[in-house]
Structure 1
Amino acid sequence: MLPDTVTRWALLVGLLGAVPLVLLTPPFQVADEPQHFERAYQISRLDLIGHAHGREAGAVLPVSLSAMARDILGTDAIDADRPITPRPLSASLAGLGRPLDPDRVAFTAFTGAAPYSPLPYMPQAIAIAIGRSFGMGPLALLYAARLANALAAIVLLALAVRTAPVAREALAFAGLMPMALYQYASASPDAMTIATALLFTAIATRAIVRGWTGRTVAAAGLLGAVFCSHKLVYAPILLIGLVPAMAGGRARLRTIGLSVAIALFALGVAIAWFALNSGLALTRLPDTDVHAQAAFLIGRPMAFPAILWASLQSYGMLYYFGMVGAVGWLVVPLPATAYLFALFGMILTVCIRRPDEPVLPRLVGVWQLLLVAGGIALVALALYLTWNTVGSAAILGVQGRYFLPLLPLLLVACTLLVRVPPDAARARLFGRIVAVVAVLQALVLDATVVTAYSVFGGAV
């Protein structure tokens, strides 16, 4: 398919896959969504920094927000079991009548989200600010935040596909994973983290071919600041163009300098934010100690690689399933065929190469694989330091969705390394099959949500 065709089907499938989930997914049935909604509401008032309150962090917000979460989930505890119970759409929409009552306020704890940068919350916060000006209630504000998040993420996905010089179908398919669509249609900052990492990957890969321009440098710096200030573990993505630039080519020194400048800017924003909010990084798990865990690893330099390898062997399939998709609070898997569809689609995208695409050196693919490996290691290390007991023999708490920002880079790298001979007819055929698989995945995701929550059942 032509580049514009790939962009159009990515945009269409993204909209058809994510926008219905804004309503179909019952309120607060995405992991940590209550905290993220409350954080987005705080930011919508231009109150950007969370506030510590004993061993909790949050902000003073209308009590109607936490009351809505408590009524829907049965508890306002941040860490609690989240069982799947029927939640018909009619029952969910009945809550639209709840008023916001913005003057009745109290401290609201959202400890897990309080330290996060406001950047990945921008679509949600803007939508909430507009909704408040129209007198919307809490549930209407949640739906507005979800819709804005979904539309922003899908637009960034389409821009990424249009921008990429190679592997367009791979980028589109990675951005249309069921788990990605599920996050887009929520109030979670993961939507912007996935989408900005996707667009950064496309822009940086294009820069390897055509060099940096003032516009792409500015865009890449901003995108990198968004995903790094949410989770610094994705910093390796910033270095996509560094080693390929060193390998040679026109304006090599300029390209290296701009790549470094982009990385330094994004890292500077992220590190400055984390330093400003270091007091809000309050652990919520007993028997964990970041400093003691770090001392354990420093004293045993080979311990972490061994622990990481053992964890990948033990939980690798669970990571894959979690990356492809699970609904609710990650407790409802998709049908087994969905995970096979995802694997099949990814393999096909790696085998698509058009005659008009530029040929990049294999060094680019090797470097990108190393960056993916580095990102995986950093994700695991962050969880090991903050969510595991000192000296634990396995890394617990890693979720497959954490790898979604790295998936586009992985598929691009594999496309460059496999080196399938260019063939326009095969590219068109495989591209159409990939588009069909993406549509099927979106339909399976919607059906899973509808079935799990009895969305079109009677009122409860």
Structure 2
Amino acid sequence: MKRIKRFLNISSNKYAVAVVVLLSASFIIGLSSVFFRYPMSWFDEQVHYARVMTYADNPLSITRGKVTKDEQTFIQKPMKKIAQSLGQPTTEIISSDWQKEFDGLGKHQERISTKDATAAAIYTPFVYTPYIVAAWIGKTLHLNVVTTFLLMRLSGFLLVFTMFILAIKKIPFGKLTLAIIGSLPPVVISFAAISADELSYGFSFLFISYALSLYLDIIKNKKLSVKDICLFIILSFCVVLTKIPAFLILGLYLPILYAGFKTKAINKKGLITLSVVLCICAIITIGWYMIVRNMNGNVEYYGRENVDQVRQIKFMLSHPLRTLRIFADNILSYPYNSMQLGYSDYTKTMSVPAGLTLLPFAGLVLSIFIKDKDDELNFTDNQLAMLYNYVSRLLFVGAILLIFIIFYLQNSEVGSDTVVGLQPRYFLPFLLLLLPFTNRTLEYNARFMTGLVIISASPLIYYSAIFIFQLLN
């Protein structure tokens, strides 16, 4: 435990045990999901798999996409079974021997056009990097479709979980808060599936953790080194190359630049460099959006009609009051605490019961005030600390609004009163923005920490229980 505490920069034994327990549980359940979840059993995994195989063949592809006949069969067969599972119970979505169903694949290597990759064409090749590399390895070693698929899942999971551990190591406080976020079932399953969310989660957690660390150094009047700034810049580029809404967390540049200038913790050259990088990141985000703005896979793949971004924008501008009402109604009524578990043997186990989903959020709030070590500064009277708190909360609200706007433009019919296609997991990487600088503390003992871990991990415990039950049946 001493080595783990030293590696994670944790002082308290009780605090370290709580973090390690959550990390261990997340790792075990995530790794099990890699191997025992049926192919395409996480929402939209089929479109991301098809996009990965398209990029693996041609990283510059921005078209409909191509896969081999075997890969197309590997998509269609699971989706047919999953569709059947929605109408009647099955024993194959969570299974230890699902691979046997695909023993016949390996004879058809000619490439064919597929519409399955269309819905994911809006994502950059970068967001699929671990999967693309795994696909290249599979092709080089002549691995079969199933083995390559598992290698893709495994490589993505190990990479993002390593990033998650590094984020916990780097974040100066709130390590337990971050561990709780990472133990939420939608996050764990996203880590284990082929998904565009995976690297978005990983780099968002890393970036915010690093930003908090830099900001704390700044308000302590510590000079930032060239290495600190370079790593921050690298993370910034990685963030904007994932999902477009992730760009919003780069708003943390603003308090960092202001505080760095006021305290002189960042020299003039560093301030100019960071300002230029922020502008470049904005240009990259806008540029990629302009490239993919007309790639509406929701029309071709999901069969949605009357979806047109240009006409939707015109509608919003010509009906401002109605647009405000639409967004207000949808944002205020959305079930943010809902936790999806993907496709399952039983439709009732495709999500965590509503009552359980509230518990980890209670744990998150409590964890904010549980400190591993005493604060060195009085944050309450520190204007720079309060500035970060205000900006980060504003960015969180902005992220919610931006996600709703994007889905209204890309997924919803023109003039619709409902924002279509949203899933609660899209908001989870932004939760860390709500971690504040605060001197408020809660006293804790071993019993309190045990209870906190249990209520925080209750959705993961539920998922583990139904996962094992389905695996054994």
Q: Please say whether Structure 1 and Structure 2 have the same fold, judged by a TM-score greater than 0.5.
A: yes
Residue of structure 2 equivalent to 1:456 = 472
Between 1 and 2, higher relative CO (CA 8 Å, sep ≥ 6) is seen in: 1
Of the three residues 245, 255, 260, the one matched with 1:233 is: 245
Q: 1:283 to 1:71 in 2, by over 3 A?
A: closer
SS of 2:114's equivalent in the other structure is strand
**CA deviation string 1:370-418 (max 9, x = no partner):** 00011111000011112222232332322111101211112x13xx35x
Residue of structure 1 equivalent to 2:221 = none
Determine if contact 2:69/2:110 at 8 Å carries over to the other structure: yes
Residue of structure 2 equivalent to 1:100 = 106
Q: Which moved more, 1:278-287 or 1:26-35?
A: 278-287
Q: 1:406 to 1:90 in 2, by over 3 A?
A: closer
Residue of structure 1 equivalent to 2:90 = 86
For residue 166 of structure 2, what is the amino acid of its counterpart?
L
For residue 111 of structure 1, what is the amino acid of its counterpart?
T
Residue of structure 1 equivalent to 2:60 = 49
Determine if contact 1:120/1:230 at 8 Å carries over to the other structure: yes
Q: 1:8 to 1:189 in 2, by over 3 A?
A: same
Distance 1:112 1:280 in 2: 8
Residue of structure 1 equivalent to 2:142 = 135
SS of 2:65's equivalent in the other structure is strand
SS of 2:162's equivalent in the other structure is helix
For residue 120 of structure 1, what is the amino acid of its counterpart?
V
Residue of structure 2 equivalent to 1:312 = 331
Determine if contact 1:150/1:184 at 8 Å carries over to the other structure: yes
Residue of structure 1 equivalent to 2:343 = 328
Stretches of structure 2 that go unaligned for 5 or more consecutive residues are 11-15, 219-223, 380-384
Residue of structure 1 equivalent to 2:422 = 398
Matches within 5 A, 1:111-260: 111-211=118-218, 212-243=224-255, 245-247=257-259, 248-251=262-265, 254=268, 256-260=271-275
Distance 1:237 1:146 in 2: 27
Q: Which moved more, 1:358-367 or 1:180-189?
A: 358-367
Counting aligned pairs with the same residue, the percent is 19
For residue 306 of structure 1, what is the amino acid of its counterpart?
R
Of the three residues 441, 457, 460, the one matched with 1:442 is: 460
For residue 402 of structure 2, what is the amino acid of its counterpart?
L
Q: Which moved more, 1:197-206 or 1:349-358?
A: 349-358
Shift of residue 163, structure 1, vs aligned partner: 0.4
Distance 2:59 2:296 in 1: 15
**CA deviation string 1:181-207 (max 9, x = no partner):** 010110112111111101100011111
Q: 1:340 to 1:225 in 2, by over 3 A?
A: same
Residue of structure 1 equivalent to 2:48 = 36
SS of 1:426's equivalent in the other structure is coil
Determine if contact 1:201/1:409 at 8 Å carries over to the other structure: yes
For residue 48 of structure 1, what is the amino acid of its counterpart?
P
Residue of structure 2 equivalent to 1:299 = 318
Shift of residue 232, structure 1, vs aligned partner: 1.4
Of the three residues 72, 77, 94, the one matched with 1:71 is: 77
Distance 1:125 1:427 in 2: 46
Distance 1:337 1:396 in 2: 25
Shift of residue 304, structure 1, vs aligned partner: 3.7
Determine if contact 1:30/1:328 at 8 Å carries over to the other structure: yes
Residue of structure 2 equivalent to 1:338 = 356
Distance 1:62 1:288 in 2: 30
Runs of 4+ more than 6 Å apart: none
Q: 1:14 to 1:48 in 2, by over 3 A?
A: same
Distance 2:97 2:354 in 1: 30
SS of 1:420's equivalent in the other structure is coil
TM-score normalised according to structure 2 size: 0.82
Q: How many residues align?
A: 436
Shift of residue 149, structure 1, vs aligned partner: 1.3
**CA deviation string 1:334-358 (max 9, x = no partner):** 1345313312321221221244345
Determine if contact 2:48/2:195 at 8 Å carries over to the other structure: yes
TM-score normalised according to structure 1 size: 0.85
Q: 1:70 to 1:435 in 2, by over 3 A?
A: same
Q: 1:227 to 1:389 in 2, by over 3 A?
A: same
Determine if contact 1:196/1:226 at 8 Å carries over to the other structure: yes
Determine if contact 1:208/1:245 at 8 Å carries over to the other structure: no
